[in-house]
Amino acid sequence: MKDIPALIGLRLDEGLRILEKDFDSINVIIKEYTIPNDFYKKNVVNPGIKRIVRQKITTNGNLELTICSFNEIPKSLL
């Protein structure tokens, strides 16, 4: 089997597409990291783009991807 490429920084859908194409036999676990509910929470309409921020192989041989949501175009602070 080929070595798993670095997926960090990729959009989740891009990373999963790469894995599906070349590593379809590996079991992928996705963990989403979120901030606490009351931390800067406003009426969120657009949750942002999910990106891979961490990847690791678990002791069971699974690939664990940690993802976070990011705003692609940040709102102006002014």
What are the pLDDT digits (tens) for 19-77?
999 888 899 999 998 776 655 555 555 567 899 999 999 999 999 999 998 877 766 67
Q: What is the pLDDT of residues 2-22, one digit of tens each?
A: 688 999 999 999 999 999 998
In whole angstroms, what is the distance from residue 70 CA to residue 49 CA?
5
* Site of tokens 């990291």: 33
Whether 2 contacts 42, CB under 8 Å: no
Q: What pTM does this model have? A: 0.77
